[in-house]
Amino acid sequence: MLRKNRLFTPGPTPLLPAAQTAMASFTAHHRTADFRALFQRVLAGMKEFIGTQHDVLVLSCSGTGVMEASVSNLTSPGDKVLVLTAGKFGERWTGLAKAFGCKADVLSVPYGETFSLNEIRAKLTSDVRAVYVQATESSTGARHDVKGIAKIVREQNDALLIVDAITGLGTTHLDVDGWGVDFIIGGSQKALMMPPGLAYCAVSERAWKRMETATSPRYYFDLRKERKAAAKGESAYTPATSLFAALGAALDFIRDMGNGNLSNGREELVNNAELCAEMTRAGARALGLKLFAAAPAAALTAISSPDGVDSGMIVKEFRESFDAVVANGQGEMKGKLFRMAHIGYYDYLDTIGILAALEHVLARVTGSAVEYGASVRAAQEVYARGLSGKRQLVEA
């Protein structure tokens, strides 16, 4: 049968056609009035997309570049930082903190789990200068309680809270300013439905202040330089110009989702991910599969491989039969789980389709009988319930 290549990976994610078209035709030089207009429109839109009044910067790099900037700009060698880690991306924080000479106090919980707020409270001594965490740990599909963590940090001391929301933004309801998040990070190849190459952050006043005294080395990622340039509608160095054009189109699409209001569009995008995720979880359970994460994120669903089956076989079979790309586990989780994303440009048909394909894939790799339609039906029921809920709301 004909196969269409489709990504179900937690980044890069499927591309918005309008973003692709915008990129393809874009030629403006970055030191022109035309580009400045686009740049300023994009930065203003990104504030609404993130849901913040803080300064937003968009940099030309992958997400890890801005993760690094959040360490190099906000810490000094010898600073004690608290790293909360529950997966491969949490471990990246530890690596970054060490690379810049911080004393990293690591609160680590097993893959698939999330943190106890009491343990965080106990670790948050007055000498902790910054706390690093993920909103959603893409390697395990777990959701962390950013609101709860922020509350503790704000109560306890003046530590900065830095959140890697690279798969969290656009899939998770986050109140960045209200909760007191000092630095939140996102990437273009996730919920923004664009290719990799841009990463962004929102920076609180408290964080800007810290930057003045932080002494870690930085040059390309000196955020004070970017802030100054942004005030004039420019970036410090040559930006990925065509990706800014794509971002403009992506923000227009999200605004349309919100009937002309970008913040509403963001909420719609989050609701969409939540519904896709709920359908997927119901579908997986209907096939007797176990979810890997105790508190699953809407960004992606990590599913444990059935006993005796290497998840690599599942990934391979998706690819060979359907040209669908799902993600294997990373590191120690390789072979044990597979991951299907709901970040950004996924709809009902994508979700139903991948579940139907999952049934065929399981039948092939396990060699045992699968009740065809079981996961599709469970997902349809979730969808129908959501729909009837909405109808009632409209009628009420």
Ligand X SMILES: *Cc1c(COP(=O)(O)O)cnc(C)c1O
* Residue number with CB closer to ligand X (10 or 248): 10
> Could you tell me the smallest distance in angstroms from the CB atom of residue 352 to ligand X?
25
Residues 358, 375: Cα–Cα separation, whole Å: 9
DSSP annotation of 333 reads G
Region of 353 (left: φ > 0; alpha: ψ -120 to 50; beta: rest) is alpha
Q: Which is nearer to ligand X, 72 or 167 (CB)?
A: 167
Q: How far is the CB of 223 from ligand X (least distance, A)?
A: 17
Q: Which is nearer to ligand X, 142 or 357 (CB)?
A: 142
Closer by beta carbon to ligand X, 88 or else 255: 88
Helices (H), strands (E): how many in the chain?
Answer: 14, 14
Provide the minimum distance between the beta carbon of 58 and ligand X in the complex, in angstroms, as a whole number.
14
CB of residue 178 to ligand X, shortest distance in Å: 22
Q: How far is the CB of 184 from ligand X (least distance, A)?
A: 12
CA angle 177, 54, 261 (to 5 degrees): 80
Q: How far apart are CA 299 and CA 166, in angstroms?
A: 10
Q: By C-beta, is 138 or 272 nearer to ligand X? A: 138
Q: Which residue's Cβ lies closest to ligand X? A: 63
Question: Pairing between strand 103-108 and 80-85?
Answer: parallel
- Which token pair is 113? 């789990």
Helix (H, G, I), strand (E, B) or coil at 74: coil
Q: Which residues pair with 83 in a beta bridge?
A: 106, 132
* Count, residues in the chain: 396
By CB under 6 A, name the binding residues for ligand X.
Answer: 10-11, 62-64, 89, 134, 138, 164, 166-167, 187
Query: Residues 21-39, buried b or exposed e (16+ Cβ, 10 A)?
Result: ebbeebebebeeeebeebb
Nearest CB to ligand X, comparing residues 63 and 195: 63
Least distance (Å) from ligand X to the CB of residue 140? 10
Alpha helix locations (H) across 124-261?
146-156, 176-179, 205-213, 223-231, 241-257
Nearer to ligand X, 75 or 140 (CB): 140
Rounded (10°) CA dihedral 355, 358, 362, 364: 130
Least Å distance between CB 89 and ligand X?
4
